[in-house]
Amino acid sequence: MDYFKNLATLLELELAHDRAAHELVLASRTLTERKELGVTWYPIQISDSELGRGDYLTVTFHKTNDLENGHRFRFGMPISLFSNYAPQEDRIQGTIAFVNQNLMKVSFRTEELPDWSRKGKLGLDLLFDENSYREMKSALQEAERGIEDPQKGKLTRKLLGLEPIALADGRDDFDDVGLNISQNDAVRRILGKGDLAILHGPPGTGKTTTLIKAIAAGIKRSGGQVLIVAPSNTAVDVLAERLDQLGLNVLRIGNPVKVSAHLLALTVDEKASKHAGYKEVKGLEKQARAYTDMARKYKRNFGRSEYEQRKALLNEARKIRKDIDRIQDYVIEDILCKAQVIAATLVGANHPHIRDKRFETVVIDEAAQGLEPACWIPILKADRLLLAGDHCQLPPTIKSEERESKELFNTLFEKLVKRYPDSVSFLDTQYRMNSQIMTYSSVMMYDGRLKAAPATAEWRLVDDTEPIVFIDTAGAGFEEKEEEGALSNKEEADFLVNHLSALIAQLEGGHHGEKLPTVGVITPYRGQANRLKGLLSDIGGLPYVDLQVSTVDGFQGQEKDIIYISLVRSNTGGNIGFLSDVRRINVALTRAKKKLVVIGDSSTIGQHAFYKGFLDYVESVNGYHSVWEWNNV
């Protein structure tokens, strides 16, 4: 069948676009711009180096400024060490062995760094990471071959509908008083012995809590080992930390983004350093380092005898290194065997430590955000599969602009929900939103099945009678503009900041020193997000308010008491761009707990059925207003 060949073709389009975009950044941007984009560290200092596994030199680098800036460097990615004296000529490539906010360990296939590295002015560029694409392509090829294999391809054939699938019956006796009816039902289905279970968790329904309970209960009963994966490091970190807090033995493969002592303690390196068998390694590493340091004293101009002596010293260091590798292999295998939960990203599921391992159960969280080719990497290691997510929220990030690439938005999660509806457990009670804020999303995205928990259904701001508001800018001359490829709406941003400032001033008067509600300002467009941040900065921000301004994509998984949404689009043609992806706007509409204020042009967005329905709904709950009601327009 051509199923996996078609996916491979789509993946090639993504690869070509992604590579070209990354190479353009490195070639066309200044050093300062590359630093701001998170693809360059400069300046850096070398704090340590040692001859590591397989004759690789492992060098530790530290940032020396911009310590607060984020970056895109991740474990396993290729980098280029350069000298800013001659950035084009003086370069050497390596691979990231460890990275956190301000420290990076890099492996180089050389015994020592070039002479130019001793002169300073060093930096690190992030090169295009083809490894993830190689892993995805390899998984698709293996999945295609596996269809013909009676054992290896069993789950694959079932997921594709080529063989009957066994679904759990949900008759388990699990019952947790801390979970609601739908959550308990979901755990019972997950604990069943079916080939596939799907957990559909709309916003605020406690998907992660339910998933954690199910994983913990399953391990307690079977004593088996579970692989949990997710598309992002952040999602993996959440699961790893929560499961560790329950007392399970969790092993985090790769490097966590949230660099806390708590999470670092779950990594292979940290567990290995505390392992009883590691004491011998430290002594041997000291010996190997001594031999290597002696060998490095011999510089370029030396005779035959010095050359032989240098060679002998390096050979001795290599022999000791082999003993170290043997002990480390034993230590790592022992750590892997004792782990109850192994946590990694989708691509990290093929990390060398677990490349050849199989698992009775594989769990993919946020599966509706994972590219399907990446999902097949962990699936090929599974006897049974548990998917958790919500295909009514953000889809995967697709970088290619080719029309065919949009097929990748149709994720494996969504395909399996449609193919095997009886495998789906729907969490129907949300604990985040006032019921008025929830209702439109419930009707349009979840067939009206979502309900508000009694504790949250009526909560609202002090003296507030309008939990949901739409402010219509039609006819006010608030026009969208594109500048340097970024879309924004100046007048809409000005109005939003003034309206928010007035609301906060009003709340300050009624809270009498109590903590003010948290606020989120969301917009689908990065240009508008930057404009809003600038305006708020110009007025000195909003003191004493927990305020976050972000794009929709940056706000996934978060919540605030008050949410403002700036829709931006305002034009005579009714063009709404990717506002037409209602999954994206569903994320924005479901972040608010007590008050949601949406600002937009009804004449532009109202031509789309989803937004026309939204306008009708807001009017039905008396939340519709025109911008002309405010004097500062």
Q: What is the pLDDT of residues 405-419, one digit of tens each?
A: 788 889 999 999 999
Locus of tokens 């530790």: 60
Q: Give the separation between CA 327 and CA 276, rounded to whole angstroms.
A: 11
What is the identity of the amino acid at 389? Answer: G
Residue 160 CA: distances (Å) to CA of 6, 25, 365, 367, 423: 14, 39, 20, 17, 14
DSSP summary character for residue 410: S
How many residues appear in the chain? 633
The full DSSP string for 230-256 is ESSHHHHHHHHHHHHHTT--EEE-S--
Q: What is the pLDDT of residue 519?
A: 96
The mean per-residue pLDDT over the stretch 185-211 comes to 95
pTM, two decimal places = 0.88
**Structure tokens, 254:** 């790769």
* Cβ neighbours of residue 398 closer than 8 Å, sequence gap 6 or more: 14, 405, 406, 408, 409
pLDDT digits (tens, 9 = 90+) for 234-276: 899 999 999 999 999 999 998 777 667 788 889 988 888 888 7
Specify the range with the lowest mean pLDDT, choosing from 44-48, 251-255, 611-615, 629-633: 629-633
Contact 42, 124 (CB under 8 A): yes
The mean per-residue pLDDT over the stretch 26-42 comes to 90
Q: What is the pLDDT of residue 304?
A: 67
Q: Give the separation between CA 492 and CA 502, rounded to whole angstroms.
A: 15
Higher-pLDDT residue of 571 and 280 is 571
The mean per-residue pLDDT over the stretch 434-456 comes to 97
Q: What is the pLDDT of residue 320?
A: 77
Q: Give the separation between CA 462 and CA 386, rounded to whole angstroms.
A: 42
Q: Give the separation between CA 26 and CA 481, rounded to whole angstroms.
A: 28
Strands 250-252 and 341-345, bridge-based pairing? parallel
The mean per-residue pLDDT over the stretch 589-607 comes to 97
The full DSSP string for 12-33 is HHHHHHHHHHHHHHHHHS-HHH
Contact 341, 225 (CB under 8 A): yes
Q: Give the separation between CA 212 and CA 204, rounded to whole angstroms.
A: 15
Q: Give the separation between CA 98 and CA 272, rounded to whole angstroms.
A: 14
* First-to-last C-alpha distance (Å) of the chain: 61
Q: Give the separation between CA 82 and CA 108, rounded to whole angstroms.
A: 13
Label each residue of 467-528 as H, E or C. Answer: CEEEEECCCCCCCCEEECCEEECHHHHHHHHHHHHHHHHHHHHHHCCCCCCCEEEEECCHHH
Q: What is the pLDDT of residue 52?
A: 67
Contact 159, 196 (CB under 8 A): yes
Residue 329 belongs to what H/E stretch? helix 304-338
* Cβ neighbours of residue 117 closer than 8 Å, sequence gap 6 or more: 46, 81, 83, 92
Answer positive or negative: Cα dihedral of 411, 416, 421, 424: negative
Does the structure show a pLDDT above 90 at 102? Answer: no
3-state secondary structure of 110: coil
pLDDT band for 171, please (50, 70, 90 cuts).
Answer: confident
| 234 half-sphere exposure, CB direction, 13 A CA radius | 8
Q: Give the separation between CA 101 and CA 264, rounded to whole angstroms.
A: 13
Phi, then psi, of 597 in degrees rounded to 5: -120, 115
Helix, strand, coil abundance in the chain, percent, nearest 5: 45, 20, 35
Specify the range with the lowest mean pLDDT, choosing from 62-66, 93-97, 424-428: 62-66
The mean per-residue pLDDT over the stretch 342-370 comes to 94
Q: What is the pLDDT of residue 15?
A: 93
Q: What is the pLDDT of residue 369?
A: 94
pLDDT band for 307, please (50, 70, 90 cuts).
Answer: low
* Cβ neighbours of residue 13 closer than 8 Å, sequence gap 6 or more: 400, 402, 404, 405
Percentage of the chain modeled with pLDDT above 70: 94
β-bridge partners, 469 = 597
Residue 82 belongs to what H/E stretch? strand 78-83
As to burial, measured by CB atoms within 10 angstroms (0-12 exposed, 13-18 middle, 19+ buried), residue 91 is middle
Q: Which of 234, 262, 439, 464 shows the shortest CA–CA distance to 343?
A: 234
Specify the range with the lowest mean pLDDT, choosing from 146-150, 302-306, 440-444: 302-306
Higher-pLDDT residue of 304 and 182 is 182
Angle subtended by helix axes 233-245 and 207-222, to nearest 10: 50
pLDDT digits (tens, 9 = 90+) for 274-289: 887 777 766 677 777 7
The chain-wide mean pLDDT, for the chain, equals 90
Q: Give the separation between CA 512 and CA 502, rounded to whole angstroms.
A: 17
- Cis upstream peptide for 43 (omega within 30°): yes
Does the structure show a pLDDT above 70 at 1? Answer: no
| 15 half-sphere exposure, CB direction, 13 A CA radius | 17
β-bridge partners, 51 = 57
**Structure tokens, 57:** 């030199």
Phi, then psi, of 623 in degrees rounded to 5: -110, 5
Q: What is the pLDDT of residue 111?
A: 77
Q: Give the separation between CA 102 and CA 65, rounded to whole angstroms.
A: 9
Residue 43 CA: distances (Å) to CA of 67, 242, 495: 11, 36, 41
